Structure 1
């Protein structure tokens, strides 16, 4: 499949902690001739300095990274470098996660089981001003989004508390949550106390049960 070459070459920064996957995408893009991979970053803490140094046109961003969540990182990139486009490239097909990235304003969200042509097409469409969200994603209806907002209002949970509750359900310890969200351990513990108070729970098992019952 032939693609138009958009001069100058599209500068791309890869942000993914899986080295083999990142190397594979780099080789694929470099072989096309329309792209210049200006860097590969494996740790969330190194992304902003690299963006500042390399000035990419597009960032391919994994949703799950060491030291900072992809969502928080996308927020920081958009706040500091609003002209740089972001496409999330991930294995996570979760409606809530997709909505959160949409609210941040990323230009694309593509699953890692996409084909080469789907990836290249998405990149060109984004660079031409479109937003591209994978057609294989689970449907996200306005009713679902409304239900999520209503859930937060009903239990007075902040977006951060909801994020931490989901991580607790996945079995992460307070220290692991601190690492994933770039919060201090003390801050995470404070959030956990607030969540317990708002949900009238006492143990971690109670929180996990609550999260499972409410499909969080």
Structure 2
């Protein structure tokens, strides 16, 4: 089980994230807080595996949270949630020790995937650097236009291409078969295909 704490001063957004994560069988939400100070007070007596922190908060912002956690409880993973697709801010967070930086406008599956990857210690920051390769700090158009898939969907598509069945994919990714089937339907819709054969052909065309 992955124990998670969340800090965000926007209560509606925080509630939405909490509800989203509670749907995952391996996630346990240990606390939701309105600012970094409340979060850090909680962490003095309670241990969690992953902290999600908003970038802008009163009393202690996201960068302050990252710095404090990495100084006092460095084994705790920290994911910054931000509305800024800005290379400079991203790099500052990573230098402070953030384990990942996720935009608030990202697909929900992207956040879920990132939490699991960060927890396992297999998250690749280099992938995020690709998102900021343009001078204006925006996502490269070719990334969005070519795939239109979340990272989890890309992962499942690659496994389908390699000949794995839904049950096998579920076992590999530690997901339920129902979740894999749901992702697969979305992949079919986004790629405009109606069969497994067409799906594999499309994956090969995309060089996955």
Q: TM-score, normalised by structure 1?
A: 0.58
Match of 1:156 in 2: none
In 1, Cα distance between equivalents of 2:15 and 2:53: 14
Determine whether 1:67 maps to 2:89: no
Match of 1:191 in 2: none
In 2, Cα distance between equivalents of 1:140 and 1:102: 18
Match of 2:162 in 1: none
Aligned length: 134
Match of 1:90 in 2: 82
Give 3-state SS (helix, strand or coil) of 1:11's partner.
strand
**Higher RCO, 1 vs 2 (CA within 8 Å, ≥6 residues apart):** 1
Determine whether 1:52 maps to 2:44: yes
Match of 1:118 in 2: 110
In 2, Cα distance between equivalents of 1:131 and 1:120: 12
Pick aligned residue for 2:25 from 30, 33, 43: 33
In 2, Cα distance between equivalents of 1:140 and 1:68: 30
Structure 2 portions without partners, runs of 5+: 138-208
Higher mean alpha-carbon deviation, 119-128 vs 78-87, is at 119-128
Determine whether 1:138 maps to 2:132: yes
Change (3 A) 1:140 1:42: farther
In 2, Cα distance between equivalents of 1:132 and 1:118: 13
In 2, Cα distance between equivalents of 1:72 and 1:132: 23
In 2, Cα distance between equivalents of 1:132 and 1:68: 27
- Report the Cα offset of residue 105 of structure 1: 1.4
**CA offsets, 1:90-118, max 9 Å, x none?**
11111111111111111100001111211
In 2, Cα distance between equivalents of 1:65 and 1:90: 11
Match of 2:121 in 1: 129
- RMSD, aligned α-carbons: 2.1
In 2, Cα distance between equivalents of 1:136 and 1:24: 28
Match of 1:154 in 2: none
Q: TM-score, normalised by structure 2?
A: 0.60
Match of 2:149 in 1: none
Give 3-state SS (helix, strand or coil) of 2:30's partner.
strand
Structure 1 portions without partners, runs of 5+: 1-8, 145-216
Match of 1:80 in 2: 72
In 1, Cα distance between equivalents of 2:66 and 2:29: 19
In 2, Cα distance between equivalents of 1:102 and 1:113: 19
In 1, Cα distance between equivalents of 2:96 and 2:134: 16
In 1, Cα distance between equivalents of 2:33 and 2:78: 14
